[in-house]
């Protein structure tokens, strides 16, 4: 069975769980009517199911390659990218003054999910352009915006971000790339960057690199870093790609997955660049792009999990293996353990999708209203969505292989590709450990106030469900109360003790949010109750063990010495 975009589930969550109508009721997004939203999701679903999905396997078995210094894309990727660009999908959330649609992030993220489920390797290209568009909209000067944004929004040009260097990963402040003024308003950028997704391409007329580098007077660490636009081809006076810039692809990384997406080692050798934003304030500008990318990576996780689930379900419906409790010659779907795996996978995907779209809604409401409470909620939910949705992608893809049994270990079935492709997502855009530390650190600098508001909301939803679903409502309310107590304990801990328990705390938070989403769904539609019971009765109980681990602190970890870790 080929991937089919889950339009119905996305629309249900937007309408009945997230409350997208509140976004469409704002003056900023009043054009995002129900009819328009339905049309966009339906059309994107057709594109993903019929055009992009067939390329997923092609990109895996026929990877991108480097020939004579130029990246050659997998067969069919050019046609797929053209369909994305010509359909206006790159500029969905971009501002209309530069050719964008100005639509809410909630809708754009829904499309991101479907495209990622259809063909993640290809979707990474427009995804990075979207992040660059947002960074330029917020931080670039008028000349750069006027030149680059229309080209990026139309998909004629594409964008990248260049942060990582061999010695500077999470510690971006250790970078060595330099930018020296040329005396004419431009800068000569010199250095090497690694892990640059779609750092080169034969799909677009130009590739626009946002590069972090240090000016001669830039101090040490992240506070001395500036951001530069460094295009592959230097635009001429009319904005057309002209002379080749002094940059090149040194090599492509040999990766576990996403083979169709070229991950480049880039060398800049006095390449001409233009400053974006203020000198020494590059990290603030780049974080705009990174935060955009973090939520988009969450959508990638949901999309991949959905695709892995669809493949596993199709196999389970078809594979006959012995007598089952329901039939003398049934399919493996009738076996209790296989049903357990698939029901758990579906419950996990639903919960992850709801968390990602809740974060998107918070961003939309913050944009539309400027309210501090929505801004705080968006900030809190971003690391939860990024980390949890990508962890779930790996978990669901792993279970997908297990459902296939021995056939899942055979590459020809395609189940293994989802597991290989998913594994990068918990690493992308700040590892999930970094996301968890961000949650318990900077995002709780308010003493947990934003977290408590979210917990209050889950409990109000549980109270509203008590009359119809008293047992499920009670369990969700109690879990939210345990999360409240765990949050109070976490806020009281010294920072490094928080960090030691950050990952289980984030997962516990996501468990409670996911259960609350399922409870809302069951109230809205009776057919959703069975899945809600899987989430609340079988998965939610993890929260207690996770919160116990979160409180444990760091001392026990440091008591384990390096010799204890050796064989």
Residues recognised as catalytic = 429
DSSP character string of 223-260: GGEEEEEEESEEE-TTS-EEEEPSEEEEEE---SS-TT
Cα distance between residue 113 and residue 491, in whole Å: 33
Element (H, E) at 197: strand 187-197
DSSP character string of 475-538: HHHHHHHHHHHHHHHHHHS-HHHHHHTHHHHHHHHHHHHHHHHHHHHHHH-GGGHHHHHIIIII
Cα distance between residue 114 and residue 303, in whole Å: 6
Q: Label residue 558 exposed, middle or buried (CB < 10 Å: 0-12, 13-18, 19+).
A: exposed
Are 105 and 363 in contact, with CB atoms under 8 Å apart?
yes
Cα distance between residue 300 and residue 293, in whole Å: 10
Per DSSP, the chain holds a count of helices (H) and strands (E) of 20, 11
Are 229 and 91 in contact, with CB atoms under 8 Å apart?
no
Assign residue 258 a region: left if phi > 0, alpha if psi is -120 to 50, beta otherwise? Answer: left
DSSP, res 311 = H
Cα distance between residue 484 and residue 252, in whole Å: 47
Q: Label residue 62 exposed, middle or buried (CB < 10 Å: 0-12, 13-18, 19+).
A: middle
DSSP, res 211 = E
DSSP, res 61 = H
**Distances in whole angstroms, Cα of residue 336 to Cα of each of 118, 323, 407:** 29, 12, 20
Q: SS3 for 453-487, per residue?
A: HHHHHHHHHHHHHCCCCHHHHHHHHHHHHHHHHHH
**Distances in whole angstroms, Cα of residue 59 to Cα of each of 4, 80, 127, 160, 270:** 18, 12, 17, 20, 34
Cα distance between residue 262 and residue 166, in whole Å: 18
Cα distance between residue 107 and residue 112, in whole Å: 9
Are 363 and 295 in contact, with CB atoms under 8 Å apart?
yes
Alpha helices in 33-104 (DSSP H): 34-46, 55-61, 77-86
């Amino acid at each position: 069975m080929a991937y089919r975009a889950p339009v119905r589930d996305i629309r249900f969550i937007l309408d009945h769980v997230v409350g997208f109508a509140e976004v469409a009721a704002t003056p900023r997004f009043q054009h995002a009517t129900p009819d328009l939203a339905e049309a966009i999701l339906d059309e994107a679903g057709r594109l993903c199911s019929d055009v992009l999905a067939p390329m997923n396997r092609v990109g895996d078995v026929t990877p991108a390659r480097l020939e004579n210094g130029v990246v050659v894309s997998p067969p069919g990727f050019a046609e797929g990218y053209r369909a994305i660009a010509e359909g206006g999908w790159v500029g969905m959330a971009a501002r209309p003054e530069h050719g964008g649609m100005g639509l809410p992030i909630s809708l754009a993220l829904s499309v991101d999910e479907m495209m990622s489920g259809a063909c993640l390797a290809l979707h990474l290209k427009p995804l990075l352009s979207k992040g660059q568009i947002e960074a330029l909209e917020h931080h670039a000067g008028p000349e750069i915006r006027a030149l680059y944004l229309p080209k990026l929004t139309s998909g004629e040009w594409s964008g990248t971000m260049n942060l990582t260097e061999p010695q500077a990963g999470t510690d971006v402040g250790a970078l060595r790339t330099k930018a020296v003024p040329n005396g004419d308003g431009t800068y000569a950028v010199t250095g090497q960057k690694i892990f640059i997704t779609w750092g080169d391409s034969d799909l677009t007329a130009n590739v626009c690199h946002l590069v972090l580098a240090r000016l001669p007077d830039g101090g040490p660490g992240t506070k001395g870093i500036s951001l530069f636009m460094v295009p592959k081809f230097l635009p001429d006076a009319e904005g057309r790609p002209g002379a080749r810039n002094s940059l090149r692809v040194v090599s492509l990384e040999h990766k576990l997955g996403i083979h169709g997406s070229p991950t480049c080692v880039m060398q800049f050798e006095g390449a001409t660049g233009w400053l974006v934003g203020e000198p020494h304030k590059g990290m603030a500008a780049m974080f705009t792009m990174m935060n955009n990318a973090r939520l988009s990576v969450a959508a990638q996780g949901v999309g991949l999990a959905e695709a892995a689930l669809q493949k596993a379900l199709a196999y389970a419906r078809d594979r006959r293996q012995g007598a089952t409790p329901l039939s003398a010659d049934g399919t493996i779907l009738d076996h209790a353990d296989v049903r357990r795996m698939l029901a758990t996978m579906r419950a996990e995907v639903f919960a992850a999708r709801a968390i990602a779209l809740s974060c998107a809604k918070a961003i939309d409401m913050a944009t539309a209203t400027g309210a501090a409470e929505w801004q705080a909620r968006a900030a809190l939910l971003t690391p939860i969505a990024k980390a949890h949705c990508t962890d779930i992608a790996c978990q669901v893809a792993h279970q997908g292989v297990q459902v296939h049994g021995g056939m899942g270990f055979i590459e020809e079935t395609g189940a293994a590709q989802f597991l290989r492709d998913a594994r990068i997502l918990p690493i992308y855009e700040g590892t999930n450990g970094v996301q968890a530390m961000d949650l318990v650190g900077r995002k709780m600098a308010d003493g947990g106030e934003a977290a408590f508001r979210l917990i209050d909301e889950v409990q109000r939803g549980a109270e509203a469900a008590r009359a119809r679903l008293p047992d499920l409502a009670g369990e969700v309310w109690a879990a939210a109360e345990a999360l409240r107590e765990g949050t109070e304990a976490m806020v009281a801990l010294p920072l490094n003790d928080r960090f030691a328990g950050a990952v289980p705390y984030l997962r516990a938070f996501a468990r409670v949010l996911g259960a609350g989403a399922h409870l809302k769904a069951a109230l809205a539609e009776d057919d959703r109750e069975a899945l809600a019971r899987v989430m609340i009765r079988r998965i939610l109980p993890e929260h207690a063990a996770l919160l116990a681990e979160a409180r444990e602190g760091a001392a026990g970890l440091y008591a384990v010495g390096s010799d204890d870790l050796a064989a």
